[in-house]
Amino acid sequence: MNRRVVVTGIGLVSALGVGTEATWEGLCAGRNGVGPITKFDATAFAARIAAEVKGFDPLQYVDKKDVKKMDTFIHYAIAAAQGAAADSGLVIGPENATRVGVYLASGIGGFGTIEREHQALLEGGPRKISPFFIPSAIINLAAGQVSIRLGAKGPNLATVTACAASAHAVGEAYEIIRRGAADAMIAGGSEAAITPMGVGGFAAMRALSTRNDEPARASRPFDKERDGFVIGEGAGVLVLEELEQARRRGARVYAEVVGYGATADAYHITAPSEDGDGAVRVMAMALESAGASTGDVQYINAHGTSTPFNDKLESLAIRTLFGERADGIGVSSTKSMIGHTLGAAGGIEAGITALAVYHQTMPPTINLDIPDPECTLDYVPWKARTARITYAMSNSFGFGGTNAALLLRRFDG
């Protein structure tokens, strides 16, 4: 089967706000969500800045008795999933529950819970470990908890492919609907890794920006003076539906998902391949699966992490695939405002890309003061841009050389 799949709901939790509207408005305004770390004392850390979610109250989404039974990444996932479902208007009941699935990802999962429970073990011995430790920390419990709360009895899955994880989740959910195994999927990802081990680990790799005195200027994709990514947190969840079902219930359609690619660099545990081969092939695969060409794309939401190698090689890959057409494509990195949300990035950015198509607006790349001479594309600097967007692509690349690309098309009704 080759059924058409559309986005009918979007739920976002980011450093720009809780809820899709807050995140989208913040992005279009070029607002920065990066600041000093407040979740723990980061005084001794090389990187002391992050894109934290502010003002999040889990009690708005989870019963008080259950809050401590879940890691924060699960709280974020539930909030985003409930937001997406409400936005969609999708009602799950006995008549359709087995045809609605959940596919949620995370790159790291319950780091905060693992750190806390390990401390309890050290201080009090094994009897001090919570019986909820494992179901609070493991990655697939985000999908499990969302499934329980929404009553979705279809496929229930999770991907763990580093920073491409939730892009893969959205792509695989799209394929599940396309082949007829479900009629709707709640798909995306969540992350809450702004913890001592999370920040300390990435800092030890020298992957993080140490522009601690200028947090608002620290995440600067494609800029010559970029020095690493800024760790972020949050969740991005989409409701994907088979087109005819969405039409029957009169659902609003943000965009149609028309293409998906997944490749591997087979090169290095953290670095992208030096010729951008994996990125070139994954974008080409997404286009080919949609029956689209390089001339069809107007906007790319780049992976754009603000690390020296990623930005340069993603730019090279786009220019290699699109050739002269690359100069006519708006390419922006919303990580400049919300940081790098790791395993949640693909879900958040898929939602942003759907919103870009729906509103015909390209969100900007901020902090692009001194363009890197090796990054020669149109990065939509500083200000959002109104533009005709028929096709838009979202790129996500992860440690281990795993790549994902999603292609969305404006829905013409």
Residues assigned a catalytic role: 163, 303, 340
Whole-angstrom distance, CA of residue 139 vs CA of residue 108: 7
290: Cα within 13 Å, side-chain hemisphere = 29
Task: Output the DSSP codes for 269-312.
Answer: SSSPPTT-HHHHHHHHHHHHHHT--GGGEEEEE----S-HHHHH
Query: 11: part of which helix (H) or strand (E)?
Result: strand 5-14
Largest separation between any pair of C-alpha atoms in the chain: 64
Pairing mode, if any, of strands 100-105 and 49-50?
unpaired
The Cα 143–Cα 121 span in angstroms is 28
Strand partners, 406: 260, 394
How many Cα atoms within 13 Å fall on the side-chain side of residue 219?
31
Tokens of 285: 């695969």
Q: How many CB atoms lie within 10 A of CB 411?
A: 18
- Tokens encoding 109: 């999962």
* Nearest alpha carbon to residue 261 among 365, 404, 400: 404
Please list, in sequence order, all residues whose beta carbon lies within 8 angstroms of the beta carbon of residue 131, skipping any fewer than 6 positions away. none
Phi first, then psi: give them for residue 70, nearest 5 degrees: -135, 145
CB 80 within 8 A of CB 13: yes
How far is Cα 11 from Cα 24, in angstroms, rounded to an integer? 11
Closest CA to 234 of 152, 145, 335: 335
Give, for 405, the enclosing helix (H) or strand (E): strand 402-409
Q: Which helix (H) or strand (E) holds 189?
A: strand 184-191
